[in-house]
Amino acid sequence: MDVTTGFFYFFSAVLLFAAFRVVTARNPVHAVLYLMLAFSQAAAVWMLLKAEFLAITLVLVYLGAVMVLFLFVVMMLDIRIEGDRWGFWQNFPLAVLIGGVLAVEMWAILSGGFGSVTLSPAAAAGQIENTRELGKLLYTEYLYPLEIAAVILLVAIIAAIALTLRQRKDSKAVDASVQVRVKARDRLAVVQVAATREAPAPAPAVEEKQA
């Protein structure tokens, strides 16, 4: 076994462990961190397969933007999932069924190979890098799907920000504009209260007895 194969098995093992911990972690923040570890290992595997564009896209887009946004939202929402753990095993059969269908579909696609993929003569001859060839395809033939994906990400960002701006009962924040507009008469009110009874008369002075 050469060095490349050893690194492939190592990255794959860490990837499987991180993916398993994403599902089983009790803390949502820990689950997001394990997902970031899984993405980094997948990027390393793609580098071994000489898919540099996919690897750098995974690192820059997912690890550098999307996962940071996920972590920010999870920490801001302060999710409490202790009471929702009972639904994990209740939905486990459905999750296994969906996972099995996805595994069968991936096996059907990968077993057929990629013989239908055609490259330009320059790319096939190695004169143009695959990153440049993918960029030309994205901004020519696949321009509309790229714009649709950008709009979907924008909607997701707006939704995440809207969730963090919800009203919380335990928040002690004060609107600064209300503090600025307040006046002195709004803070202190002098009320004149009538006396309920007369003040007692002063006691008579007692003369000191002369010795």
Q: Kindly list the distances between the CA atom of residue 131 and the CA atoms of 39, 87, 134, 150, 155, in Å, as whole numbers in the listed order.
A: 20, 44, 5, 20, 28
The CATH architecture one would assign to domain 1-81 is: Up-down Bundle (1.20)
**What pLDDT, on a 0 to 100 scale, did the predictor assign at position 15?**
92
Enter the DSSP assignment of 199. Answer: P
Supply the pLDDT for residue 120.
56
What's the pLDDT at 170? 63
Q: Which residues contact 131 (CB under 8 A, 6 or more apart)?
A: 52, 53
Which pLDDT score is estimated for 16?
92
Per-residue pLDDT of the chain (211 residues; tens, 9 = 90+): 788 888 889 999 999 999 999 888 888 788 888 988 999 999 999 888 888 888 888 888 888 777 777 777 777 766 665 555 556 677 778 888 998 998 898 888 777 765 555 555 555 555 666 777 778 888 888 889 889 988 998 898 788 777 766 666 666 677 777 777 777 777 777 778 777 777 677 777 655 555 4
Could you list the beta-strand ranges (E) of 78-168: none
Q: What are the extents of the domains in the chain?
A: 1-81, 125-166
Q: Which residue has the tokens 């020519």?
A: 140
In the prediction, which pLDDT does 31 show? 85
